[in-house]
């Protein structure tokens, strides 16, 4: 998926709406589907829009704020990753526990920088979360400046849709949402979860991350990078689809750019 349609379900930056409501969001997504995605998401027999996860491929910035993490790669590395996934069977392998969308980002990043991102068995109990990938990559980049890590933000489009809230890891979610009941049920277990979060799961998004200009994507070399989001339609629960959606941007060999994959961490919408 090209970046602008992935974010806004339109073809160009000039078509991005200043505000959005639910009806317009549905209209834009369906119009883009009819124009480009009919083969993978065809009309229902009565000509109406099909259900499924295809809307995840278009208009992501209408539902949530997104943080992007960009690292340097070579054209040869990009070609290897593209070939790896093109050679695989086009079959859904989604598993919320061990093969979710954050796992996809973890595997892709590790193809470029081996062992940069690992499962967090303490704070996330072995479940890969988008925030754990961002935390691990940021820590790795602090020790390996050659990654050229850049972080940017894509604001949720203004409008009537519910505003998104910050993404959370497993232990963090337990502490923030169920801390009081856990204390009542088991103070010891609560202490363990809190220690796991504070020691191995705490991570904050940069407060002043630059906003991505979709007309001029970030590039470590100061040139416009050709950004493409690689997405997959997977069978997952609405909760998983909302909380665990990541994407990467492998440049083609012809791009010859050092701007490597963009891992996009989407904030969770209030109403998945």
Q: What is the DSSP string of 9-50?
A: SSSSGGG--SEE-HHHHHHHHHHHIIIIITTTSPPPTTS---
Question: pLDDT digits over 199-236, tens only?
Answer: 877 777 777 888 888 876 555 444 444 443 433 332 33
Q: What is the pLDDT of residue 240?
A: 34
Q: Write down the pTM of the prediction.
A: 0.71
Segments making up each domain of the chain, as ranges: 3-166+205-266
Decide: residue 206, CB within 10 A, 0-12 exposed, 13-18 middle, 19+ buried: exposed
For the beta carbon of residue 110, count every other beta carbon within 10 angstroms: 14
Q: What is the dihedral of CA 164, 170, 176, 180, to 10 degrees?
A: 140
Helix 187-200 vs helix 170-185: angle between axes, to the nearest 10 degrees? 160
Decide: residue 253, CB within 10 A, 0-12 exposed, 13-18 middle, 19+ buried: middle
Question: pLDDT digits over 71-86, tens only?
Answer: 999 999 999 999 998 9
């Amino acid at each position: 998926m090209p970046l602008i349609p992935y974010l806004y379900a339109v073809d160009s930056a000039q078509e991005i709406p200043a505000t959005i409501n639910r009806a317009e969001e549905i209209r834009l997504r369906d119009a883009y589907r009819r124009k480009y995605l009919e083969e993978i998401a065809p009309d229902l027999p009565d000509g109406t829009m099909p259900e499924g996860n295809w809307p995840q491929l278009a208009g992501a910035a209408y539902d949530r704020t997104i943080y992007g993490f960009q690292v340097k790669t070579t054209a040869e590395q990009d070609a290897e990753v593209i070939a790896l996934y093109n050679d695989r069977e086009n079959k859904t392998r989604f598993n919320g526990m061990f093969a979710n969308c954050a796992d996809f980002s973890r595997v892709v990043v590790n193809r470029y920088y081996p062992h940069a991102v690992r499962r967090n068995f303490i704070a996330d109990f072995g479940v890969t979360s988008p925030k754990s990938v961002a935390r691990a990559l940021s820590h790795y980049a602090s020790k390996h400046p050659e990654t050229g890590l850049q972080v940017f933000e894509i604001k949720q489009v203004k409008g009537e849709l519910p505003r998104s809230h910050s993404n959370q890891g497993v232990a963090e979610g337990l502490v923030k949402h169920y801390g009081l009941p856990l204390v009542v049920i088991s103070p010891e277990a609560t202490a363990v979860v809190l220690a796991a979060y504070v020691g191995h799961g705490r991570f904050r998004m940069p407060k002043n991350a630059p906003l991505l200009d979709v007309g001029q994507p970030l590039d470590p070399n100061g040139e416009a990078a050709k950004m493409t989001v690689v997405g997959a339609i997977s069978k997952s629960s609405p909760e998983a689809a909302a909380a665990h959606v990541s994407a990467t941007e492998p440049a083609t060999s012809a791009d010859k750019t050092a701007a490597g994959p963009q891992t996009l961490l989407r904030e969770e919408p209030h109403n998945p």
